[in-house]
Structure 1
């Protein structure tokens, strides 16, 4: 999204995207959140809930972590050089350097760092923004911000599912460009589903999507930087 073919970040493009996102979020809070939320709620169905479970942040992090762990084990076995066999410091240093170089280029590790980074950023923002979830609007016709808050009910913005899904799926799309259309479509569908099930406002999803895209680009830029 914000990377060149040479894996360099387009800072100006990212800056404009941040500005547009901020404007959309503000417009959502002031104008279109409620009508768009009510419209999409009409499409709530059981399918969305299954989608939310499958692409939950914990599933993303656990799945990618397991893949990284498998890679690490295979790498140690393949090189026939474990920590125990590293009899001298020079051999251990060479092994560690080679291992770190290889793991940085591992797709599962890139995805893991992307979703973990997005999850951490979103969690911090949720606490300090403290936005009430739409359940209060549907039950009590109440909206607002009550920061700081650790309560799930006041952790609406940004959408964690959306941020983590965009971080993971955008990364997959960058690593496997032929699936980019599929990954982007799936990420957008997941974002819309968070509104349809009544968990988030549209502006929560917009901010979450932007965070996910930015984190994915920064992770790829930093880890694959030559």
Structure 2
């Protein structure tokens, strides 16, 4: 049974559920209001979406699986050497004997998604007087990012590194590298890519991890 919860308790992690999206992604969602409208059927409102960097799982189709959480979420504790290997798992009712009929066996291969960099935030592109386009963003972090006492969240990677892609209609026009939260798309680059000043394009920004690779992209559209 679901129930409504005060907002401060939701902000503390209450009323959380996982919803299975496309491509094996899961969204972690929280809700403050739960209204029973039919047998085992609720309308949920005042939602917190894409929690803990799970926004790639948003947009689940109708009929998607939902897991209601009643406690904290922890990582599975695998070492990096175990990533990418098909592993045999057993899951069952608390207190039941392993191997009993209360347990289910299955095979699962983990990819280390818990180390995937989150998408940058506040991605913007603005034209400058010299004809260049300034692209800027603010990084996010998987660890130590809850404090409101610091001006910038700590870097969760060994080094700060980004890939910035300029795309038009899904076609990659240029790839840039950056070691901070900004990069300049110069007028010379625009002339090479668009035969003149760029009037419209999409910009994709990935933070890079030495152990995982590309993170979740931030995407924005530029219009002159």
Smaller-chain TM-score bracket: under 0.3
User: TM-score, normalised on structure 1?
Assistant: 0.24
Higher-Rg structure is: 2
**Larger strand proportion of the pair:** 2
**Larger helix proportion of the pair:** 1
